[in-house]
Structure 1
Amino acid sequence: MLKKILINLFPKNFKNENVKINKLAYVTNTNFSGNNYVDRFCRIRNSSFGSYSYIGYNSDINNVQIGNYCSISSDVKIGLNSHPIHLFSTSPIFYSDTNPFGKKINKISYDDSPKITVIKNDVWIGTNVIIMEGISIGNGSIIAAGSVVTKDIGEYEIVGGIPAKIIKKRFDKETIKKLSDSKWWEKDAKELINSQFHL
Structure 2
Amino acid sequence: MLGSLKQLVKWWKFALRGRSRGIRIGRGCEIGFRSELEGGNRILDDTTFSGRLGYGSYLGERCRISGSIGRFCSISAEVATIPGRHPTTGFVSTHPAFYSLKGQAGFTYAKAQLFEEYAYADAEKGYGVVIGHDVLISHGVRILEGMTVGDGAILAAGSLVRSDVEPYAIYAGVPARKIGQRFDDDTIRELLELRWWDRDLPWIEAHAPLFTDIQAFLAACRKEAP
Give the Cα separation in 2 of the matches to 1:132 and 1:146.
13
SS in structure 2 at match of 1:16 = helix
2:39 is the counterpart of 1:27: no
RMSD after superposition:
2.6
Structure 1 stretches of 4+ moved >4 Å: 10-13, 101-106
Contact 2:97–2:107, Cα closer than 8 Å, also in 1:
yes
- When normalised by structure 1's length, the TM-score is 0.82
Shift of 1:174: 2.5
SS in structure 2 at match of 1:166 = strand
Q: Which runs of 5+ in 1 are unaligned?
A: none
Relative distance call for 1:98 and 1:183 in structure 2 (3 A) is farther
Q: Percent identity?
A: 30
- When normalised by structure 2's length, the TM-score is 0.73
Relative distance call for 1:163 and 1:179 in structure 2 (3 A) is same
Match 1:138 to one of 150, 160, 183: 150
Relative distance call for 1:96 and 1:145 in structure 2 (3 A) is farther
Relative distance call for 1:55 and 1:11 in structure 2 (3 A) is farther
Query: Could you tell me which residue of structure 1 aligns to residue 45 of structure 2?
Result: 40
1:186-197 correspondence runs (5 A): 186-195=198-207, 196-197=209-210
Q: Once the two structures are superposed, what CA deviation does each residue of 1:34-58 show, in whole Å capped at 9, x if it has no partner?
A: 111111211223x111111111111
Give the Cα separation in 2 of the matches to 1:75 and 1:125.
10
Letter in 2 for 1:163: P
Relative distance call for 1:113 and 1:141 in structure 2 (3 A) is same
Number of residues of Structure 1 aligned to a counterpart in Structure 2: 190
SS in structure 1 at match of 2:18 = coil
Query: Could you tell me which residue of structure 2 aligns to residue 16 of structure 1?
Result: 18
Shift of 1:114: 4.3
Give the Cα separation in 2 of the matches to 1:139 and 1:89.
38
Give the Cα separation in 1 of the matches to 2:179 and 2:168.
11
SS in structure 1 at match of 2:45 = coil
1:1-199 correspondence runs (5 A): 11=11, 13-14=13-14, 15-17=17-19, 18-28=22-32, 29-45=34-50, 47-62=51-66, 64-85=67-88, 86-94=90-98, 95-97=100-102, 99=104, 101=105, 107-109=111-113, 110-115=115-120, 116-195=128-207, 196-198=209-211, 199=214
Relative distance call for 1:11 and 1:23 in structure 2 (3 A) is farther
Shift of 1:193: 2.7
Give the Cα separation in 2 of the matches to 1:57 and 1:150.
23
Letter in 2 for 1:66: I
Q: Which is helix-richer, 1 or 2?
A: 2
Give the Cα separation in 1 of the matches to 2:157 and 2:188.
23
Q: Which runs of 5+ in 2 are unaligned?
A: 121-127, 215-226
Give the Cα separation in 2 of the matches to 1:34 and 1:67.
12
Relative distance call for 1:43 and 1:82 in structure 2 (3 A) is farther
